[in-house]
Amino acid sequence: MTGIKEESYISLNALTQFRDEKGHYHFESDKEAVASYMEEVIAPRRINFNSLQERLDYLVQEKYYDPAVLASYDSHFIAEIFDFAYAQGFKFPSLMGAMKFYQAYALMTDDKKSYLEDFEDRAVMNALFLANGDENLAKKLVLDIIHNRFQPATPTFLNAGKLRRGEYVSCYLLRVEDSMESIGRSISTSLQLSKRGGGVALCLTNLREAGAPIKGIVHQASGVVPVMKLLEDSFSYANQLGQRQGAGAVYLNVHHPDILSFLDTKRENADEKVRIKSLSLGVVVPDITFQLAKDNKDMALFSPYDIMREYGKPMTDISITEEYDRLVANPRIKKTYTSARKLFQTIAELHFESGYPYILFEDTVNRRNPHKKVGRIVMSNLCSEIAQVSTPSTYQEDLSFETVGDDICCNLGSLNIAKVMEEAPHFGELVEDAIRALDHVSRSADLGCAPSIEQGNRKNHAVGLGAMNLHGFLAINHIYYDSPEAVDFTDIFFYCVAYHAFKASNRLAEQYGNFENFEQSEYADGTYFEKYLTEDKQPQTSRVKELVEQYGLEVPTAEDWRKLSERIQKTGMANAHLLAVAPTGSISYLSSCTPSLQPVVSPVEVRKEGKLGRVYVPAFRIDDENYAYYQKGAYEVGPNAIIDIVAAAQKHVDQAISLTLFMTSEATTRDLNRAYIYAFSKGCDSIYYVRIRQDVLDGSEHYAEDQVIASTKSNFTCSGDSECQACMI
C-alpha cells in the first residue's frame, strides 16, 4: 500500500471533522473515502475469477469453503443466490465499515496477500449456513444481512461456510467447583475453547478461601488468587494462532472471604506476584449487600468450605440474601467482616483505575430467571449480557467426568433498530428469521472439547438476539437520547421483539421439540407472561405514537400475548433463552451504525487504526439536520439516561444487557456509587464497563477523543475504542 493511496482515502475521511465556509460539515466525504479505499486498496488485491463456478470450485478445492454447506442446496440455487446478492448494489456506508470488513472478516488467501471475498460473498455464505438448506430462508437472510437489518455475531459471521475455521459461538461460561480436579479441568477446557476462538468466563465463588482447611488441616488453602494467575497464564498462552490473546473473565460473589484480595489484583500498585493484567474481573452482588451499605453496616463474608459442609450445596447455589441472617447466626460457618460501604468504595476506585470489575446483580437476575426450579444464575460472561442457569460437574482423579453438569455458551446476533423499523410491517418475520438463524448456530456448534458446555447447549439451545443502533434511530427521527420519548420507544421496541421471539421459538418447537426442562420453566405454566396480560401496551408519548403509525409497527395486544402464552403452554418452546443485548463493538462498525443501546461518544468518533493513524467515524446517517441529536453524547447525557434506556429494554429481555457507564473526568467515586444504586434500583441485571473520558486538544470543537481507562491498564478490553478480543461482537 503506497503512501499516495493511503493519503487519498484517509484525507477524504479526515474532512468529516471540518466545516465548509457555510458552516456545513463534510460528512459526505466519508462516502468518497469508501470509493477511494475500494478502488485503490481492495481492488488491486482482489483475486478475480472468470465465473462463479470457477471461484467456488477453487475455494472448495483449496479447502477454503466447506463443501457440505454448498451441498445443502441445488447448484442452480447457489448461482441464483449469489446473483441475487450482487444485484442488491451493496456499498459500505462508511470507511470504517469497509475497513472493518476487509481487515477482520473477508476471506483471504493463506499468505494474507489477496482477498477472496467481498461483503456479498460473506453474506451469502452466512445465509446458506444459517438457513440449513431452506432456500426461502436463505434468500431472506441474504437480504437482511446485506441491508444491515440483522447481523450475526463475529464468530458466526467470520466462520460460516468455511472449512478451516473457529467456532460459531461467541463465548462460554464455566463453573469451577471446590476441588483440584474441577480447577484442573476448568483450565484445560479454557485452553481448548480459547484455541477455537472463544472467550471464557469462570465462576470462582465456590472455591474455598485462603486459609481454609484442606483434609482437616487448617490454614492450608491458597484461595482464589493463585487460580486466577493460572487462568491468566493459560489465556495468554492460547493466543489463537497469534491473531489475539485468549480472553477470560472470572466472577466472585462479594460475600466470599477473598473478595478484597480478588479486587486488589487489579490495583495499579499490586505486587507482581498477585497482579492480574489481562484477566477480566466480575463481581456478583446480592440485594443484601446494598441493604447493608444503605444501613452503614458491616457485611459478613462466609466460608464456601463451611457452607458446603452445612448446606450440602455450593455457595453459588444458595441465596445469600435469603440465608444471610441464618448464615450469620450459624457458629459452624466461619465468617469475617468488612464494611459494605468500603466494598462499594473499593469497586468504584477500581473502576477509575481499570474499568473493572463487571457487576452482576444476583437477586435481580434470579427474580427474572424463568428456570428457578432448575437452578440459579451465578455468573455472567465477558460482556455481562448472558444470564443462564448452570449446574455443577464432578470429576474423577484423572479429570474425567463423574457427572456432567450444565455449563453455558452464547449464540448471538443483533437487529439493527433503524433498519428493522424501515421494514416494520414485516417486523415479526424479521425477528423470526433471526431466531431461526441463531437456533441453527446452537444446533451446529461443535462443543465436544467441553462436555459440560455441550450438554448445556444441547439441553437449552439458548440464543441471545440483541439490538444495536438505538441512538442512530433516535437521531434520524429527531429524538434526544436523554428524553422520555427515547425511553418510551425502547420499551415499545423490545416489547415487540420479545413477543415475536417467543412466537418464533414456539414455532421452532414444532420442528425440533422443546428444550429439555421446558416443563419446569415459568413458560410452561404461563407465569412468565403474566406481566403482559393485564393491559394493552401503548406508547406513552405522542411522538412515539406517531413513529409507530408512521413506520407501520403493529404492537401486540394483551389478547395476542394471552393466545401466545396458551399456545406455548400447550406446544412448548425450542429455546430456553431468547434475548440478550451485547455491546456490538465490531459489528456496529461493520454495519456503520451506533453500538448496542448506547449513545455515541461524539458525533464523529475518532479511532486509532495502527499505521494509518486516526480514522474518523461519523455517526449513523449524520447530517446537518440531525447533528444536534448526536451532539449530546454518552458523557454529556450521563449514566442515568443510559440506565433509563437499559431498564426499559430489560423489562422484556429474558437475559441481560451490556450496560456501560460513561463518566467525565470530574466524576468521583460517590458519583459512581450513585450510578450503581440507580442501575440496581431500576432493575438492570448488570453493569459492564465504566469508561472515563480523557479530553484531548485536537483543534475541532465537535468531538473529544476518549479512551477506555482499562485499555491502558491491561492487555484485554472489550468496549468502544477496542472491540472485544474475546467474542468480537
Measured from the Cβ of residue 113, the count of other Cβ atoms closer than 10 Å reads: 9
pLDDT band with cut points at 50, 70 and 90 for residue 662: very high
Which of 49-63, 221-235, 464-478 is the least confident region? 221-235
2: pLDDT strictly greater than 60: no
Eight-class DSSP state of 115: B
Among 439, 729, 691, smallest CA distance to 582 is for 729
Average pLDDT, the chain: 92
Please name the helix (run of DSSP H) or strand (run of DSSP E) that holds residue 614, with its range, or none.
strand 614-618
pLDDT for 506-515, tens place per residue?
A: 999 999 999 9
pLDDT number for residue 695: 58
pLDDT band with cut points at 50, 70 and 90 for residue 465: very high
707: pLDDT strictly greater than 90: no
C-alpha cell at 191: 485452553
pLDDT number for residue 216: 77
Tell me what the mean pLDDT of segment 12-16 comes to: 92
Tell me what the mean pLDDT of segment 430-436 comes to: 98
The residue type of 494 is F
Which of 102-106, 296-300, 337-341, 697-701 is the least confident region? 697-701
pLDDT number for residue 697: 39
Backbone φ and ψ for 585, nearest 5 degrees, come out as -55, -65
**Cα separation, 700 vs 19, whole angstroms:** 10
The CATH number given to 171-403 is 3.20.70.20
pLDDT number for residue 239: 62
**Cα separation, 179 vs 208, whole angstroms:** 9
Which of 383, 496, 593, 727 is labelled catalytic? 383
Percentage of the chain with pLDDT > 70?
93
pLDDT number for residue 245: 58
Is residue 52 within 8 Å of residue 655, measured between CB atoms? no
440: pLDDT strictly greater than 70: yes
Among 623, 569, 629, 570, smallest CA distance to 602 is for 629
Measured from the Cβ of residue 433, the count of other Cβ atoms closer than 10 Å reads: 23
Strands 298-302 and 335-339: antiparallel
**Cα separation, 390 vs 382, whole angstroms:** 16
**Cα separation, 209 vs 165, whole angstroms:** 40
Annotated catalytic residue 684: no
Q: Distance from first CA to last CA of the chain, Å, rounded?
A: 28
Is residue 413 within 8 Å of residue 170, measured between CB atoms? no
**Cα separation, 330 vs 336, whole angstroms:** 13
**Cα separation, 340 vs 288, whole angstroms:** 10
pLDDT number for residue 453: 97
pLDDT number for residue 726: 36
Eight-class DSSP state of 541: S
- For residue 375, give the 3-state DSSP assignment: coil
Among 666, 706, 704, smallest CA distance to 689 is for 706
Measured from the Cβ of residue 617, the count of other Cβ atoms closer than 10 Å reads: 26
Global pTM value = 0.93
Tell me what the mean pLDDT of segment 367-382 comes to: 97
Backbone φ and ψ for 688, nearest 5 degrees, come out as -90, -105
pLDDT for 165-202, tens place per residue?
A: 888 998 999 999 999 999 999 999 999 998 887 789 99
Look up cell 466494598; give the residue.
343
Is residue 276 within 8 Å of residue 229, measured between CB atoms? yes
Tell me what the mean pLDDT of segment 497-510 comes to: 98
pLDDT number for residue 708: 34
Look up cell 429474558; give the residue.
654
Which of 233-237, 458-462, 517-521 is the least confident region? 233-237
Among 462, 314, 461, smallest CA distance to 376 is for 314
pLDDT for 124-178, tens place per residue?
A: 999 999 999 999 999 999 999 999 999 999 999 999 999 998 889 989 999 999 9
Is residue 534 within 8 Å of residue 558, measured between CB atoms? yes
Q: Domain residue spans in the chain?
A: 171-403
Which of 212-226, 329-343, 450-464, 687-701 is the least confident region? 687-701
Tell me what the mean pLDDT of segment 220-242 comes to: 84
The residue type of 711 is S
**Cα separation, 114 vs 612, whole angstroms:** 20
Contacts for 376 with CB less than 8 Å, ≥ 6 apart? 316, 317, 319, 366, 369, 389
**Cα separation, 126 vs 144, whole angstroms:** 11
Q: What is the 3-state secondary structure (H, E, C) of 174-240?
A: EECCCCHHHHHHHHHHHHHHHHCCCEEEEECCCCCCCCCCECCECCCCCCHHHHHHHHHHHHHHCCC
Residue 203: Cβ-neighbour burial (10 angstroms; 0-12, 13-18, 19+)? buried
pLDDT for 665-681, tens place per residue?
A: 899 999 999 999 999 99
C-alpha cell at 58: 477453487
Residue 141: Cβ-neighbour burial (10 angstroms; 0-12, 13-18, 19+)? buried
729: pLDDT strictly greater than 50: no
Please name the helix (run of DSSP H) or strand (run of DSSP E) that holds residue 154, with its range, or none.
helix 154-159
**Cα separation, 704 vs 631, whole angstroms:** 11
Annotated catalytic residue 232: no
In the β-sheet with 171-175, what is the strand arrangement from edge to edge?
Answer: 408-409, 171-175, 199-203, 248-253, 280-285, 358-361, 686-687
- Find the radius of gyration of the CA atoms of the chain: 25
* More reliable by pLDDT, 254 or 725: 254
Measured from the Cβ of residue 707, the count of other Cβ atoms closer than 10 Å reads: 17
**Beta bridge partners of residue 461, listed in sequence order:** none
pLDDT number for residue 56: 98
**Beta bridge partners of residue 416, listed in sequence order:** 468
728: pLDDT strictly greater than 50: no
**Cα separation, 527 vs 180, whole angstroms:** 41
Annotated catalytic residue 383: yes
pLDDT band with cut points at 50, 70 and 90 for residue 699: very low
Which of 117, 181, 385, 454 is labelled catalytic? 385
DSSP per-residue codes, 555-613 = PPPHHHHHHHHHHHHHH--S-S--B-B---HHHHHHTTS--TTPPPSSSEEEEE-GGG-
pLDDT for 564-575, tens place per residue?
A: 999 999 999 999
pLDDT band with cut points at 50, 70 and 90 for residue 241: low
pLDDT number for residue 326: 98
Look up cell 472463544; give the residue.
198
486: pLDDT strictly greater than 70: yes
Give Dmax over CA atoms of the chain in angstroms.
80
**Cα separation, 59 vs 47, whole angstroms:** 11
pLDDT band with cut points at 50, 70 and 90 for residue 1: very low
Among 53, 117, 128, smallest CA distance to 90 is for 117
Is residue 161 within 8 Å of residue 125, measured between CB atoms? yes
- For residue 686, give the 3-state DSSP assignment: strand
Residue 449: Cβ-neighbour burial (10 angstroms; 0-12, 13-18, 19+)? middle
> Can you state the angle between helices 484-512 and 427-444, rounded to 10 degrees?
50
Which of 381, 469, 506, 626 is labelled catalytic? 381
C-alpha cell at 544: 412515539
For the stretch 218-243, what's the b/e string if a residue is b when 16 or more beta carbons lie within 10 angstroms of its beta carbon?
Answer: eeebebbbebbbebbebbbebebeee
pLDDT number for residue 240: 54
pLDDT number for residue 631: 94
Among 148, 129, 301, smallest CA distance to 212 is for 301
pLDDT number for residue 220: 78
Distance of CA 675 to the CA centre of its chain: 21
pLDDT number for residue 723: 38
**Cα separation, 705 vs 115, whole angstroms:** 32
